[in-house]
Amino acid sequence: MKHFLKLTDYSTEEIIAFLDLADRLKAEQKQGVAHPVLAGKTLGMIFQKSSTRTRVSFEVGMSQLGGHALFLSGRDLQLGRGEPIKDTARVLSRYVDGIMIRTFAQQDVEDLAKYGSVPVINGLTDYAHPCQVLADLMTIREHKGKLAGLKLCFVGAGNNMANSLIAGCVKVGMNISVACPKGYEPDAKLVAWGMESGLLIVGQDVLEAAGDADILYTDVWASMGEEAEAEERAKAFQNYQVNGAVMAAAKPDAMVLHCLPAHRGEEITDDVFEAHAADIFDEAENRLHAQKAIMVKLLK
């Protein structure tokens, strides 16, 4: 049984196959061609953190595929009162055909997959956000016509987004440069793996990292769960912003992506955000299509 826990679990060919299916499902939906291929199936969606895009796109996506999605708030489940993840996994597996989970520890997602008997999808952990990066790659390929050989520059915290972008870019043969303050680097193991490919560079200089980039990507300075560090992070990250100067270092036709939600005036200026809003909201839309592809591949 296949799960969708992190992109490094997948081969290049498998990632491209997800993207090809996502493109097809998007084209069908735009043409009004129904594809109820998951009729009768139920997806359980556990959320231990907030969400706008992930929740809505999974729920709408499941409905477009003819199935049903069940929103399970971490606050209301017995999980929130200490019922172990391995018991939750075994119980939910008796009712639903797949589980999407957004939580803190990556280990919880891995345990859910280990103890459950249905496919598990990672809807964001502190370590990874693979669904987002699948939508990002889909958006880049749509706009640039290819993936391999392009350069993406990530500016900001070495967080779940930076980690999954490293995994996704390296898998599809894209160069990726990460600019982050000292002490806020992405996952060390993943960095070592990325460096081995020759496609990843991690440094502290934003303008150097942005040089000749085809895509500029950023994310919030303080992620969900890091609220207590927000002030300290705001100081550490004050020079880590996608602004006019950074855009000038990149290729003239560089696109700007942001997983959202965005904090204007922090990791991105309002003018850069609005100038590239078309890219950013295409990216948000593609969450729907990319996740439909994941659900079809895992649950059908």
Footprint on this chain of ligand NVA (rule: CB under 6 A): 124, 159-161, 219-220, 223-224, 259
Please confirm, yes or no, whether 94 is among the known catalytic residues.
no
Q: Which amino acid is at 39?
A: A
Q: Which string of DSSP letters, residue by residue, matches 191-237?
A: HHHHHHHT-EEEES-HHHHHTT-SEEEE--SS-TT-GGGHHHHHHHT
8 Å CB contact between 214 and 151: yes
Q: Which of 53, 102, 233, 258 is catalytic?
A: 102
Give the shortest CB-124-to-ligand CP separation in angstroms.
6
The residue (of 131 and 172) whose beta carbon lies closer to ligand NVA is: 131
Please confirm, yes or no, whether 259 is among the known catalytic residues.
yes
8 Å CB contact between 129 and 139: no
The residue (of 136 and 214) whose beta carbon lies closer to ligand CP is: 136
Q: Which string of DSSP letters, residue by residue, matches 175-187?
A: EEEEE--TT--S-
Q: Which amino acid is at 111?
A: D
Among 106, 125, 132, 159, binds ligand CP (CB under 6 A): 132
Query: CB under 5 to 8 A by kind: which of ligand CP, ligand NVA, none does 52 bind?
Result: ligand CP
Query: CB under 5 to 8 A by kind: which of ligand CP, ligand NVA, none does 151 bind?
Result: none
Is residue 51 a contact point for ligand CP (CB under 6 A)?
A: yes
Among 191, 259, 268, 288, binds ligand CP (CB under 6 A): 259
Burial 43-59 (b: 16+ CB within 10 A, else e): bbbbbbbebebbbebbb
Cα R_g (the chain), whole angstroms: 19
The residue (of 104 and 193) whose beta carbon lies closer to ligand NVA is: 104
- How many residues bind ligand CP (CB under 6 A)? The answer is 8
Positions annotated as catalytic residues are: 102, 129, 132, 219, 259, 287
